[in-house]
Amino acid sequence: MTPWSTSRLQRPTPLRLLAGLAGGLLLSATPARAEAVLEEVIVTAQKHAQNVQDIPITITVVTGEQLDSFSIRDANDLADSVPGLSIQHTPQNLSQVTMRGLGTGSAGESLDQSVGLFVDGVWAGRIREFQAALLDLERVEIMKGTQSNLLGKNTSLGAISIVSRRPGESPGGYLQADYELEYDSTYLTAALDIPSAAGNFRIAVNAIDEGGYVDNLASGKEVPEREQTTVRVSGLWPVGTRGELLLRYQHDDLDIHGDTFQPDSDTLGFIRALDPGTDIGIDQTRNAWTSYSDSGDAEDEQESQRATLRYEQALGDFALTALSGWSRYDNDRLTDSDFVAVDYLNTQFSSDYEQFSQELRIASPRDGGLTYIAGLYYLDGDMDYSSLTDAAFPPPFLLQGLPLNTANQLLYTQDSEVWSAFGQGTAHWGERWRLTLGLRYTDEEKDATWERVRLRRGIPGSDIIADILAPQTPPTPLHRAEDNTDGSVNLQFDLADQAMLYASWARGSKSGGFATGVAAPQDAEYDTEEAETTELGVKSTLAGGAGQFNAALFYTEIDDFQIVTFTGVAFLTETLPARSYGAEVETRWALSERLFVGASATYADAQDENSGLRLPYAPQWSAALDARYERPWPGRELVWRVDAALNYRDEQYMQSDERNPDGALTLLDLRLALASPAAGWEVALLGRNLLDQAASFGFDFPAFGGSAALPSGTATLGSLNRPLTIALQARYDF
């Protein structure tokens, strides 16, 4: 029995995980053949191309080939293969993002994310932007810990950088089709390079039609159904003999029908009293209905656009870069907030956001004793947000027997403007020592208007509860201005040509602002989040390039940690002191020209320093194993390929006060492929979650008695991860 199995098999412990990792390291000590070496991984985390082994930061890189092979189409799937990164969805179909156990939260759309998302160098830190498809990518760089200097907008706890493929210099492209058998899902991706005298162009298209895996007995549909179409057009032009201009435009349409959340427990019997037919318990059936949508299910529709313009020019030995970014999204969604087959509570959300950013930077020659990058940054963002809540609860079921029959709408607008100046320099001492200092100054202003209007009044007495939970509020202006100075110090020492030690300290901040999920505007303001991360690490390349071993110890402390948690009826924004400490380890080996293996693990102990309890979405242990084996078919120009990935995360809590634990989860993915490199085709069979592991994650449901104050009689909501799937893949490169 494997020590990695969970849930229906044997649950891993930290000891078993360490034993498994140690076994992998012992295996990695097997001598590799001299000609077998690992491919060099080049990243741009520090604004110029570098070998990932030379950068004194904990970075995980997922290549475009890995994304395509395992049919990783969105950020949620991406996180499953990256220890220390967690991305999960909530009942509003938003993403909850944490790194090393720390992250802002899924709601609070007016909040910046502590774990920032960057697309082709441009900040995309709104939580709705995590819904975009991963299309035609070169790689994804996941940078852990405080990133305070060079990224386009400060990220206090980490960053995810998505890098798209560039237009090629010769004609070519690819077409890939995936068909998932059990839930009748199709995934189509294509890209085409079109070089010409007028410039080089690339077109990439992605179409997803994904079937649901939970039967909604009330609507008769399998949910969630997801349809998504993404198109990206890129153009690359030379400017003179030493410059270039790269333009990208992407359009994305997303439609999701249905939700997988359902009542998990109802010990007081309130839910069944409202709807005796309600399906209680987390499984692959639910019983929920809303008359607000034609389908009877929750709905989520989003249109998003993104454009980037990058101009690079060599000025002697210096490099000038100008990066312009524009993006917008329009999102409308309906949540069946009572999660039963009767219309007691429905919420409609609308969120529109538009931003423009401009970055200008200069980089010194890379071969001097002192190298540096300096620049200026500007961002302007505008948001319009509304939530319309319609509640019609009968008297016995809410707040001492008082009824609630009302409809109200929250209207929120926000304009933000950011200016910053930044610089980072590295001094080389002798052959082995390097000292890097970085500094960033940021000035930010936010102007908002907060309003709540009553759209419907109920029977006499119902307004009493409405005025308590959601009082009418006239348009109230809010203003906040602040400036922050962040920085970092990093010391590197080369033990040998292929091994490096580093010690770093970084301070990063995330601006304060105004929350939308509060009862009144006077409670909306929250403070600036300030994080400090100290890290000690080693990066080494072994056996002449056949192996790599990296490890790091980290400690992050945060003042006014901005956290958003779901209470069951709304999202609560609060600030508190928090910290996370632990270790990361990663190793990769080319055991032969045919066999490549890798292992990585993260231990992160993230706690609320006020209570001493673990933070939500903060598994202590997470780990990953992966392997690839290739073998030619004798006598034919064909190659067999086997790819395997085993990903594990520990138990975690979904809310503060260590409530509602989500069980540990182990995911086994396996891909068997036959390819003709000469002809450019490949066919494969892909199995995901082959152990059919199920873990539920959920929340208290206060509307029906769920509360930390009622441990003996609570109502909770929950949802399951996607079960075992088998897909056929076909790909043609030309």
Predicted confidence at residue 34, as pLDDT, reads 47
User: If you count them, how many residues does the chain have?
Assistant: 734
Structure tokens at 675: 């390819």
Looking from the CA of 649 toward its CB, the CA atoms found within 13 Å total: 26
Amino acid identity for residue 23 in this structure = G
Q: Is pLDDT above 90 for 350?
A: yes
CA distance 498 to 495: 8
Contact 191, 169 (CB under 8 A): no
Going by the DSSP 8-state scheme, the letter that residue 706 receives in this structure is -
b/e code 85-105 from CB counts within 10 Å (16+ = b): bbbbbbbbbbbbbbbbbbbbb
Q: Is pLDDT above 80 for 463?
A: no
Question: pLDDT tens across 499-514, in order?
Answer: 999 999 999 998 899 9
| Backbone φ and ψ of 280, nearest 5° | -95, 130
Which residues are bridge partners to 46 per DSSP?
none
List, as one string, the DSSP characters of 428-492: EETTTEEEEEEEEEEEEEEEEEEEEEEEE--STTHHHHHHHHS--EEEEEEEEEEEEEEEEEEEE
Going by the DSSP 8-state scheme, the letter that residue 340 receives in this structure is S
Question: pLDDT tens across 369-395, in order?
Answer: 899 999 999 999 999 999 999 888 766
Going by the DSSP 8-state scheme, the letter that residue 341 receives in this structure is S
Question: pLDDT tens across 506-539, in order?
Answer: 999 988 999 887 888 998 998 999 999 999 999 9
Amino acid identity for residue 609 in this structure = E
Predicted confidence at residue 23, as pLDDT, reads 42
Predicted confidence at residue 152, as pLDDT, reads 65
Question: pLDDT tens across 648-660, in order?
Answer: 999 998 877 787 7
Q: Is pLDDT above 80 for 398?
A: no
Structure tokens at 449: 């208007």
Residues 6+ apart with CB under 8 A from 276: none
Number of other residues whose CB lies within 10 A of the CB of residue 330: 16
Topology (CATH level 3) of domain 14-733: Maltoporin; Chain A (2.40.170)
Question: pLDDT tens across 93-134, in order?
Answer: 788 899 999 998 766 788 888 899 999 999 997 889 988 899
Residues 6+ apart with CB under 8 A from 164: 119, 120, 135, 136, 137, 138, 204, 232, 234, 248
Maximum Cα interatomic distance, the chain, rounded to a whole number of Å: 85
